[in-house]
Amino acid sequence: MIPSASQGILAVQGRQGEDYSFLDNFHNRKSEFASKAERRFLKSLGGGCSSPVAVYGQIHNDELLLNGMYVDAYGNIETGKISGDKNKSEQLGETLALRLKEKAGCR
C-alpha cells in the first residue's frame, strides 16, 4: 500500500527572524528530499487531502526511488515508479505524476 504524500514527516513552523539553530540536529536531509518529491507529485496532479493519489519516496545513498498511484475521474488506476538523483527530487516527482496522468488519459 502506498501512503499519502509526506505521511510520517514532521515539520516545524515558526516566526520569521527567530533563532531556530537548536533544531539543526533534528533536520533529516533524506526526509527533505523524499518530501519534496512527494509534494511535487501531488501538486502536479492537482491533488489535495481528499484526492485519490498516493506517493512514497525512499532515499538510498544518492538515489531517490519514488512509487506513485493516480486515480483519474473515471476510476482508472495507474501506478508507477521512477528513480534518479536525489538532488532532482522535485523534477522526479513531477515527471512521475505526468507519466501516470498521461497513461490514465490514454484509455
**How does pLDDT run across 60-88, given as a tens digit for each residue?**
999 999 999 999 888 889 999 999 999 99
Cβ distance 73 to 82 under 8 Å? no
Cβ distance 68 to 87 under 8 Å? no
Q: Nearest 5 degrees, angle CA 67-CA 72-CA 77?
A: 50
The pLDDT of residue 43:
94
**Domains of the chain with CATH codes:** 21-105 (3.30.160.40)
Segments in 1-107 forming alpha helices (H): 29-44, 89-105
Q: Say which residue, 50 or 77, is predicted with more confidence.
A: 77
pLDDT at residue 49 tops 80 = no
Q: Please give the distance of CA 31 from its chain centroid, rounded to a whole number.
A: 10
Distance CA 97, CA 51 (A): 13
1-10, 25-34, 84-93: which has the highest mean pLDDT?
A: 84-93
Distance CA 14, CA 105 (A): 41
pLDDT at residue 17 tops 60 = yes
